Amino acid sequence: MKKGKVYLVGAGPGDPRLITVRGLQCLQECDVVVYDRLASPRLLQHVKSEAERIYVGKLPDRHTMKQEEINHLLVDLALQGRTVTRLKGGDPTIFGRVGEEAGLLYDNGIEFEIVPGITSAIAVPAYAGIPVTHRDLASSLSIVTGHESPDKLDRSIHWDKVTNATGTLIFLMGVAKIGYIAEQLIRHGKPSDTPVALVRWGTRVEQQTIVGTLSSIEQIVRETNFKPPAVIVVGEVVLQREKLRWFERKPLFGLRVLVTRAREQASELSAAIEELGGEPCEFPVIAVREPSDPDAAEHIREHMAAGQHYDWLMFTSVNGVDYFFRYLSRFKLDIRSFNKARIAAVGPKTAEALAKRGLICEELPVSFHAEGLLDSIQDKLQAGQRALLPRGDLAREVLPRELERLGLKTTVIDVYETVLAEKQEDWALEMIREKEIGMITFTSSSTVANLMEVLRRSGVEEPAKLLAGVPVASIGPITSKAVRAAGLEVTVEALDSTIDGLIQAIVDARRAATRAGESE
């Protein structure tokens, strides 16, 4: 059997967007990924669904798998002819034990590649507003392990040389030894008032930073119950933090948001959350697909083929636009047959999807739902006109019912159906169970019902009880009604029933909460 290949990939410091292009490519193409605790689980979304996932991470109180076992695991997988990505936090060559893994691969004649990653030694301080070098303060830096016991530290670190060798000192994995580290630095010549910063889980939503001096930092760690993992920065560059802490000033910093939209549609909301400093946790509970009814396609073709007879084409969602044009292509129908029809859209995103296809809709409603659409075009509607509504199977009946009441001949075609999403990431479910979610977003009534069903199928007997107390952001009043019916409380409701409106409502709520906290 032909031997496989192993990619030893640096995942970066925590923020999944900081992985290199090459590292991402290795994830997308591998047959099996072997990952540890410091690699963001969100990176697993880029792995093929059929690829095997093996967790070998280490926790402070136990090792899931010893390093020697990991080394042999990589060899065994490659000998099976598989392409393996070994995903390691930070950079694999900086205290990542990549030499041991690569050495055994070499000894067994297995091809490997080391893919560098952004090391936490520079990235974590940067996210805390601390540049590790500065023209006026530090022109050099040292990276030192702080994880060993004091006697091992003394054997591996020449304190008399390290202490003043560079302008900035970076200690990785040294929270538990911070007192001893500070003591040695002072003993070997560092002023006791030298600034020190500890940054925990840097670049992530849990990022926490404390600042002190060599003489005070141990007490601050105890008083704040500061826990690892953290990067320790020693030097005058720490003082830059007051001006440069850009990440912590973002409006959604520290907020992990559950995104329940369909996987194909989650990117817009997730990207906005990330841009504002939050962390999206994608947990798709709905999926859209073509109707499963075998007779549906012929029903759709029959009514779309009569395009010349319609006075109105009304779209209530982006999905409706997308699937409408899929069927046009499948049935080889010409959009020009609808030349007599005026076009209406329920909201700006739907109108944008139409504009990308060269179709301009009527004036948009003020309120982005069926009632708002009717209000905006009611004076243009006439009894006897014919309207075609390409939509989803769970769409509300308000629009066709009211059009019929106004005397229009309305044809509804369900061009897609919304179903329960079949697969969610185990790590995301665990975050929900462990109450590590800071807010839940719902963008439709179906996302509410389906989240509850997914949780029940996952063994949660009382989903509403599990989610009690977690703030809920709703895209609009119709979705909010479904939230309350499910036994949850609505914390934030968008004024405009759009993704932009939802994000703005979340930001406004966070800012209001911050102001309230500052005034207390």
Please measure the distance between the N-terminal and C-terminal CA atoms of the chain and give it in whole angstroms: 69
pLDDT band at 348 (very low <50, low <70, confident <90, very high): confident
**Which among 327, 370, 37 has a CA at the least distance from the CA of 204?**
37
Q: In terms of domains, do 220 and 261 share one?
A: no
Same domain? For 390 and 430 the reply is no
Identify the active-site residue in 15, 36, 311, 414. Answer: 36
Whole-number Å distance between alpha carbons of 245 and 241: 5
* 298 and 395 fall within a common domain: yes
Per-residue pLDDT, 62? 52
Q: Percentage of the chain surpassing pLDDT 70?
A: 95
- Residue 34: give its domain's CATH number: 3.40.1010.10
Q: Does the pLDDT value for residue 120 go beyond 90? A: yes
- Structure confidence at residue 151 as a pLDDT band (50, 70, 90): low
- Alpha-helical runs (H) found in 142-216: 150-156, 159-162, 178-187
**Are residues 306 and 268 part of one domain?**
no
Residue that wins the pLDDT comparison between 221 and 57: 221
My answer on whether 163 and 269 are in the same domain is no
Same domain, 127 and 245: yes
- Mean pLDDT computed over 311-324: 94
Instruction: Clarify whether residues 397 and 362 are in a common domain.
Output: yes
- Which of 44-48, 308-312, 364-368 has the highest mean predicted lDDT (pLDDT)? 308-312
Does residue 363 or residue 401 have the better pLDDT?
A: 401
- Which of 101, 118, 135 is a domain's end point? 118
User: Which among 3, 58, 250, 409 is annotated as catalytic?
Assistant: 58
Q: What is the pLDDT of residue 363?
A: 74
- What value, to the nearest 5°, has the Cα angle with vertex 9 and ends 175 and 124? 35
What pLDDT, in 10s, does the model give residues 243-277? 999 999 999 999 999 999 887 777 889 999 999 99
* pLDDT recorded at residue 154: 66
CATH number (domain holding residue 511): 3.40.50.10090
375: confidence class by pLDDT, cuts 50, 70, 90: confident
Which of residues 30 and 59 earns the better pLDDT score? 30
Identify the domain containing residue 95 by its residue range.
5-118
Same domain, 429 and 507: yes
Say whether 293 is catalytic. Answer: no
Number of domains in the chain: 4
CATH code: domain of residue 171 = 3.30.950.10
- Per-residue pLDDT band for 518 (boundaries 50, 70, 90) equals low
Q: What is the mean pLDDT of residues 331-343?
A: 95
Same domain, 239 and 332: no
370 and 440, same structural domain? no
Strands ordered across the beta sheet of 5-10: 52-55, 32-35, 83-88, 5-10, 111-115
- pTM attached to this predicted model: 0.85
Where do we find the tokens 């319609």?
Answer: 310
Looking at 366, 387, 418, the residue that finishes a domain is: 418
Quickly tell me which residue has 């580290």 as its tokens: 181
Instruction: Verify whether residue 409 is a known catalytic residue.
Output: no
Q: 436 with 405, same domain? A: no
pLDDT confidence of residue 147 = 67
* Mean pLDDT estimate for the chain: 91
Same-domain status, 222 and 261: no
120 vs 366, residue with greater confidence: 120
- Band (pLDDT 50/70/90 cuts) for residue 59 is low
Domain end, chosen from 118, 140, 169, is at: 118
Active site residue 173: yes
pLDDT at residue 101 in the model: 93
Least confident of 36-50, 198-212, 361-375: 361-375
For residues 60-69, give the mean pLDDT: 71
**Among residues 5, 91, 173, 314, which one is catalytic?**
173
Question: Can you tell me the distance from the alpha carbon of 447 to that of 274, in angstroms, rounded to the nearest whole number?
Answer: 21
